[in-house]
Structure 1
Amino acid sequence: MQSFEHVPALRALVAEWRGQNKTIGFVPTMGSLHNGHRSLVANARARCDRVVVSIFVNPTQFSAGEDFEDYPRTIDADKLALVEDGVDALFLPKVKDLYPRGVDIATTMVSISGLNSELCGAHRDGHFDGVLTVVNKLLNIITSDMLFLGQKDFQQLYMVRQMVSELLIPVEVIGVPTYREADGLAMSSRNQYLTEADRPKASSLYNILCNISESLNQGNNDFSALENAALSKLQNLGFVPDYVEVRRQQDMAKAKAEDKELVVLGAAKLGKTRLIDNAEVSR
């Protein structure tokens, strides 16, 4: 595996691969890799000739008071995992490489109006602008054929797909199923924040979302009642919920009774850990 910190050298390698007619898969991460990340790499490895992984803790997607400084950084262990998984190139940019003018002044950002302030966006000011901007920059550098993202971040996956479509970026966005612990908890780098007391309760978020999905499949269309009941259950278990909502998969609009392809989305804090998850519904 070759490692790169600067854009020109990585672009030169990508150009060499292009000259050899190799297909390129790209997996963007913030590091602190777990088996969920590794499943993205495995999917990329299976579908592409060459695989690039980036590790970059992106400052513009953290809101004020969030865990940017504390976000786990485990670069040595991450490198070992990526070598084991057969990654061809690792990109480790510095902030100045991706934000030449810095992040403390007005800088060019990508934003999708409306959805960037709903669901997770309503509770993490500017988060999705930061995500879309950094993904756009990374795609401009790596020019991959395929981009692999986890389905746990359903809203993020939807918005990246919308950005790629509307900005005419020639990449196929592949959503990879969420990798879960034995009890159903979606794997996340932030799970290590969970205390010993909180960890057994953490999978309750997913279980509650799945219960809503079962009710929807049985024909229950009282979305508001289902959402409110879920919020109460989470509160009773000690969570501080941000939201539980039923949306349409196709456009993330609020669900209507006639809709068939739905997704139940939820986010809640358990102690200092913010958990997000979703359950898709086809009825």
Structure 2
Amino acid sequence: MKNIQNKTDLSNHIKDLKAKGKSIGFVPTMGALHNGHLSLVNSGLKENDLVVVSIFVNPTQFDNKEDLVKYPRTLDADIALLKTVSANNIIIYSPTVADIYGNNIVSQSFTFDGLEHEMEGAFRPGHFDGVGTIVKRLFEIVKPDRAYFGEKDFQQLQIIKKLVELHHLDVDVIGCSIHRAEDGLAMSSRNARLSPEHRSAAPFIYKTLNTAKTMFGTKSAGTVTEWVRSQFKKQALLELEYFIIADITTLKPVKRKSTQKSYRAFIAVYAGDIRLIDNIALN
């Protein structure tokens, strides 16, 4: 398994592979890998000859600098985990900040037809500029045929699809189902930082989403939203930041349901100082 840390070396290696007719899948990550990441890698391996997995904690997408400092960095463990999937068909790209940004660690400014202003964008200013900057640069370096992203970050997935559309990037962006623990908690690198008490409480998030989905069949979005808020007020260990039912195309909150549109419920919750997000398709 190759672990390449320099973008020039990676680009040259991929150029050689493509000259031999090899197809390239791509899974960008910030490391601290778990089974959710492995499910993306496996999807990539089914549809491509090789998969590049980037491991890079991107400084420009953190609005909370303390969160950046605390974000787990476990490269050796990540490499060992990827070897359990494939020792020969995975290429790791683990660049330094300087390799990606040089001496100018700033985000490019993006517009994504308004998608960037909803939900996460409203609560994390500048976040999607950081996401757009790093994903665009990685696409330009790796030049993948297909790139794989989990639907846990559904808003991010839609924004990356819009990035590809607006900047005419030659890559297919593929969304993959949310990978969950047996108790329903969406897999996240942040889960490892939960205290035992908060980890025990966290499955309530998915349980509530499932009930909200059932309610949405007969109740208005406003009624469902108020019910969710009331449920979290009873939870001593979980603090609701937002619950929003939105149109999956525009990501704008629904005012009146339409049978012609598809909706998802999006949620962000603090378990102590750990922020967890999740979502669920409603129709």
**TM-score computed with the length of structure 1 as normaliser:** 0.94
Tell me by how many angstroms 1:167 deviates: 1.0
1:89 paired to 2:88: no
Tell me by how many angstroms 1:232 deviates: 2.2
- Per-residue CA deviations over 1:9-33 (Å, capped at 9, x if unaligned) read 1001110111111111000000000
Aligned equivalents of 1:167, 1:219: Cα separation in 2: 41
- Paired letter, 1:89: I
Gaps of 5+ in 1: none
Q: Contact 1:101 / 1:107 at 8 angstroms: preserved in 2?
A: no
- Paired letter, 1:8: T
**Greater mean alpha carbon deviation, residues 226-235 or residues 160-169:** 226-235
How is 1:123-142 mapped onto 2 (pairs within 5 angstroms)? 123-142=123-142
Q: Contact 1:110 / 1:130 at 8 angstroms: preserved in 2?
A: no
Q: What secondary structure is seen at the aligned counterpart in 1 of 2:68?
A: coil
How is 1:253-264 mapped onto 2 (pairs within 5 angstroms)? 253-255=252-254, 256-259=256-259, 260-264=261-265
Q: Contact 2:40 / 2:148 at 8 angstroms: preserved in 1?
A: yes
Structure 1 stretches of at least 4 aligned residues deviating more than 4 Å after TM superposition: none
Tell me by how many angstroms 1:107 deviates: 5.2
**Greater mean alpha carbon deviation, residues 33-42 or residues 189-198:** 189-198
**Greater mean alpha carbon deviation, residues 107-116 or residues 180-189:** 107-116
Match of 1:223 among 213, 216, 221: 221
How is 1:181-196 mapped onto 2 (pairs within 5 angstroms)? 181-196=181-196
Aligned equivalents of 2:107, 2:273: Cα separation in 1: 31
Q: Give the match for residue 179 of structure 2.
A: 179
Q: Give the match for residue 147 of structure 2.
A: 147
Q: What secondary structure is seen at the aligned counterpart in 2 of 1:68?
A: helix
- Name the % identity: 36
Aligned equivalents of 1:111, 1:129: Cα separation in 2: 8
Tell me by how many angstroms 1:210 deviates: 1.4
Q: Give the match for residue 214 of structure 1.
A: 214
Q: Give the match for residue 247 of structure 1.
A: 246
- Per-residue CA deviations over 1:232-280 (Å, capped at 9, x if unaligned) read 2123213221110111122222223214411010001011111100010
**Greater mean alpha carbon deviation, residues 246-255 or residues 140-149:** 246-255
Q: Give the match for residue 231 of structure 2.
A: 233
- Paired letter, 1:245: I
- Paired letter, 2:211: N
Aligned equivalents of 1:20, 1:235: Cα separation in 2: 58
Gaps of 5+ in 2: none
Distance 1:173 1:32, change over 3 A: same
- Paired letter, 1:231: R
- Cα RMSD (Å): 1.5
- Per-residue CA deviations over 1:174-229 (Å, capped at 9, x if unaligned) read 1111111111000101011211111111011111111111112x232x21221122
- Paired letter, 1:269: Y
Aligned equivalents of 2:112, 2:249: Cα separation in 1: 16
1:21 paired to 2:21: yes
- Per-residue CA deviations over 1:63-88 (Å, capped at 9, x if unaligned) read 13441011011111101111221242
Aligned equivalents of 1:235, 1:6: Cα separation in 2: 49
1:277 paired to 2:278: yes
Tell me by how many angstroms 1:97 deviates: 1.3
**TM-score computed with the length of structure 2 as normaliser:** 0.94
1:100 paired to 2:98: no
Length, aligned pairs only: 278
- Paired letter, 2:244: E
- Paired letter, 1:156: Q
